[in-house]
């Protein structure tokens, strides 16, 4: 096993050597010579631990910030050849989310508070843009189709993946604010509300019972949607991939559910149900994981 790990590490080093451009981490020099917000930050989580590539994430964040819109939106991707926003597949919500998380990780790894302070205004604009994506004031982000990494699935409205990242981004903002000597309590308050609503809106089953208290700020439209969903689903051992207006996805988004566990969105009962389910269906066969379960077949709603 150790030999396989060594080989994998050497190959990863070789890939990073090709991907770390002067503008940051490219998705692929052959097919996608762009710095994509989500790809560069996720890859940067590992690159910051890899000798010789510690600055790849920071460079990517600088490139993305350079193309931030007047309203605070971060680009989905920036072309390495032009250094400008590429309008192909331009619309995304998770770009802002990963950008905030990326800055948090970068500071954790480098302890460079001056860099964080310099980009704090950009981070605040990124977060404000995200808050405007809550179009109905429910507390969760409303996301249109193809606005995140799952751009070939018809996920929409209150999407699990984006809203779990929303919770993580808010927690990251609170921590970074504290580092800069600022009051970040309001970020933590919003995050707690997001976590609570994810537990009641996207979970169908007894594991969310304790979340519905007499003062629960559940939206009327959610309760109406859930009244239609519950008789059909009864319960599910995972968070639904999305809940929209009188509609929902009925499959397990593995990435979204694992992020819900990793970031602490799932309560202990939900976490146990998710992990037991993924083990029971053999989600890691083949390794590392299948991205969703059950398989979507031709003719299904999805």
Element (H, E) at 252: strand 252-253
Q: 157: which strand partners?
A: 143
The residue ranges of every structural domain in the chain are: 1-132, 169-302
Would you write out the chain's pLDDT as a tens digit for each of its 302 residues? 678 889 988 998 898 988 899 999 998 878 888 999 999 999 999 888 888 888 999 999 999 999 999 999 999 999 888 888 876 666 799 999 999 999 999 999 999 999 999 999 999 999 999 999 999 999 999 999 988 988 888 899 999 999 999 999 999 999 999 999 999 999 999 999 999 999 999 999 888 887 877 666 655 555 556 656 556 677 899 999 999 988 899 999 999 999 999 999 999 999 999 999 999 999 999 888 999 999 889 998 88
Spatial separation of the C-alpha atoms in residues 177 and 166, rounded to whole Å? 16
| Chain centroid offset of residue 189 CA | 19
Residues 6+ apart with CB under 8 A from 53: 13, 16, 17, 20, 47
Strand blocks (E) in 113-198 = 158-159
Element (H, E) at 225: helix 220-233
CA-nearest of 40, 57, 59, 39 to 48 is 57
Q: Determine the pLDDT at residue 83.
A: 84
């Amino acid at each position: 096993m150790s030999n396989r790990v060594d080989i994998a590490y050497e190959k990863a080093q070789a890939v990073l050597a090709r991907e770390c451009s002067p503008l940051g981490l490219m998705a692929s020099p052959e097919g996608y010579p762009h710095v994509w917000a989500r790809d560069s930050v996720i890859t940067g989580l590992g690159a910051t631990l890899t000798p010789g590539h510690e600055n790849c994430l920071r460079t990517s964040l600088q490139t993305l910030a350079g193309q931030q819109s007047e309203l605070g939106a971060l680009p989905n991707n920036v072309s390495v050849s032009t250094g400008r926003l590429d309008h192909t597949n331009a619309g995304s919500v998770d770009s802002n989310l990963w950008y905030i998380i990326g800055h948090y990780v970068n500071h954790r790894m480098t302890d460079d508070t001056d860099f964080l302070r310099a980009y704090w205004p950009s981070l605040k604009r990124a977060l404000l843009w995200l808050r405007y994506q809550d179009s109905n004031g429910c507390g969760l982000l409303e996301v249109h189709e193809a606005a995140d990494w799952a751009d070939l699935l018809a996920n929409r409205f209150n999407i699990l993946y984006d809203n779990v990242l929303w919770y993580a981004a808010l927690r990251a903002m609170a921590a970074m604010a504290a580092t800069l000597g600022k009051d970040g309590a309001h970020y933590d308050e919003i995050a707690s509300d997001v976590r609570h609503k994810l537990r009641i809106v996207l979970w169908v089953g007894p594991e969310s019972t304790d979340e519905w208290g007499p003062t629960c700020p559940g939206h009327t439209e959610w309760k109406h949607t859930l009244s239609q969903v519950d008789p059909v689903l009864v319960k599910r051992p995972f968070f639904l991939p999305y809940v929209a207006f009188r509609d929902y996805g009925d499959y397990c988004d593995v990435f979204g559910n694992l992020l819900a566990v990793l970031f602490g969105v799932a309560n202990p009962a939900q976490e146990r149900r998710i992990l037991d389910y993924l083990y029971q269906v053999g989600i890691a066969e083949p390794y590392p994981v299948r991205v969703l379960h059950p398989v979507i077949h031709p003719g299904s709603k999805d």
